[in-house]
Amino acid sequence: DIQMTQSPPSLSASLGDKVTITCQASQNINKYIAWYQQKPGKAPRLLIRYTSTLESGTPSRFSGSGSGRDYSFSISNVESEDIASYYCLQYVNLYTFGAGTKLELK
């Protein structure tokens, strides 16, 4: 099974900051990674698929990049509505979520 190592577990940012979350797969996942946002009590929301393709409705301040085993997700100009938990997901072989990153306001 493919494992996804996501870091950091938590992140503290000020409004307007740029933040970056990383995920490393245990093997090459050929860019088959998605990123989700989840707010308390809600279902996850798909933001980005296939490394860098923004879903309809995802603000352009969100971005993704990477290849092989290493991937990153960034939010430029953090806004208050971005305070949430974020998860990566590999879907090249079944599915595996990263452990999540909780983004808080500094």
Partner 1 sequence: QIQLVQSGPELKKPGESLKISCKASGYTFTDYAMQWVKQAPGKGLQYMGWINTQTGKPTYADDFKERFVFSLETSASTAYLQINNLKNEDTATYFCARSLRYWGQGVMVTVSS
Q: Which residues bind partner 1 (CB under 8 A)?
A: 1, 34, 36, 38, 43-44, 46, 49, 55, 85, 87, 89, 91, 94-100
Q: Which of residues 13 and 46 has its CB atom nearest to partner 1 in the complex?
A: 46
Q: Which of residues 1 and 81 has its CB atom nearest to partner 1 in the complex?
A: 1
The closest of 49, 44, 40, 63 to 91, measured between CA atoms, is 49
Least distance CB 65 / partner 1 (angstroms)? 20
Residue 14's CB is within 10 A of a number of other CB atoms, namely: 9
Least distance CB 99 / partner 1 (angstroms)? 5
Q: Which of residues 29 and 34 has its CB atom nearest to partner 1 in the complex?
A: 34
Least distance CB 106 / partner 1 (angstroms)? 22
Least distance CB 84 / partner 1 (angstroms)? 13
Buried b (16+ CB within 10 A) or exposed e, 77-102: ebeeebbbbbbbbbeeeeebebeebe
